[in-house]
Amino acid sequence: MTSSRFDLRGKVAIVTGGNGGIGLGLARGLADAGANIAVVGRNETKSAAAIADLGQRGVKAIAVTTDVTDQAAVAAMIDRVVKEFGRIDILINNAGMSIRKPPHELELDEWNKVIDTNLTSAFVCSKLAYPALKASGNGKVINIGSMMSIFGASFATAYAASKGGIVQYTRACANAWAPDNIQVNAILPGWIDTDLTRGARQQVSGLHERVLARTPAGRWGDIDDFAGIAVFLSSPASNFVTGTAIPVDGGFSVMA
Ligand code: NDP
């Protein structure tokens, strides 16, 4: 009885940036619970490897090559997923990037690129998926924020702005779409070992050790740390949970 509330068999999920990093960790969780997955990204080699990984878990996985900052491409992606699977139940807005510069050094085109990728893409994907999510009867949207949704590191100018925006956008959608039985929540990852943080670890001396010291769990996060929260927020088990922003950070955000 309890386990059926976490059962995602027959559901269809779109995971933007699902071809690597945290997105692949989220997609693996959904696939292990039975959901079919559309992986959205730009890099076809990474996407091919991701759908092979997901397919081994006994579900149907497809790759839809899409730049999420291109509205027409997102519309075509949504059409393709509906044609391929007949429905969309879960949308995870995970694609993201960062440009590490303080406010006085960041150029306008750099600001726009980060905001377009991290925040505007969530708006466009959610808006275009909304009719299918409503038709699902129990739609789920998960937006990926960050510790920078809460804090404001000096190097995270546009990144922090985009991730703060993700939380408020999540709350607005949760309010608007509750009558459609669509739940909208955000996940706020701590420091996770992915391509996104690899550059920072190489450039910023001592970062690796500082994260270990600052994180009560005493380790960096792994992409598979996201499987459980992905299943919970995608399943009927979370039907009374909406508008939240849940840290998955080994305690980073509660460390004094
Ligand atoms: P990665 O760099 O490993 O993955 C980012 C993913 O986003 C890639 O799969 C990439 O696919 C995709 N992507 C980026 N831009 C676009 C685009 N324009 N169109 C389509 N896909 C795009 O990063 P993470 O896994 O670390 O990050 C995933 C999310 O988690 C991001 O939103 C990030 O901000 C957030 N996060 C990460 C943290 C960390 O410590 N790693 C901490 C807090 C939040 P492709 O290469 O094919 O374009």
State which residues form the domain around 148.
3-194+222-249
Question: How many structural domains compose the chain?
Answer: 1
- Domain for residue 208, yes or no? no
What is the rounded distance in angstroms from the CA atom of residue 245 to the CA atom of residue 239? 15
Helix (H, G, I), strand (E, B) or coil at 100: coil
- Domain for residue 173, yes or no? yes
Q: What does the block give as tokens for 16?
A: 């933007």
Residue nearest to atom 31 of ligand 1 (CA): 96
Amino acid at 235: S
Q: pTM of this prediction? A: 0.98
Residue 184, strand partner residues:
141
Q: Is 185 in the pocket of ligand 1 (CB under 6 A)?
A: no
Ligand 1 atom showing the smallest separation from residue 144 Cα: 32
What is the rounded distance in angstroms from the CA atom of residue 204 to the CA atom of residue 143? 28
- Domain for residue 209, yes or no? no
Task: For Cα atoms 178, 115, 107, give the angle at the middle one, nearest 5 degrees.
Answer: 165
Size (the chain), residues: 256
- Domain for residue 256, yes or no? no
CATH number at residue 38: 3.40.50.720
**Which one, of 76, 60, 17, 74, lies nearest residue 194 by Cα?**
17
What is the rounded distance in angstroms from the CA atom of residue 19 to the CA atom of residue 191? 19
- Domain for residue 91, yes or no? yes
Q: Which residues of the chain have pLDDT under 70?
A: 1-2, 256
Residue nearest to atom 23 of ligand 1 (CA): 196
- Domain for residue 156, yes or no? yes
Distance in Å, CA 46 to ligand 1 centroid: 12
- Domain for residue 117, yes or no? yes
- Domain for residue 217, yes or no? no
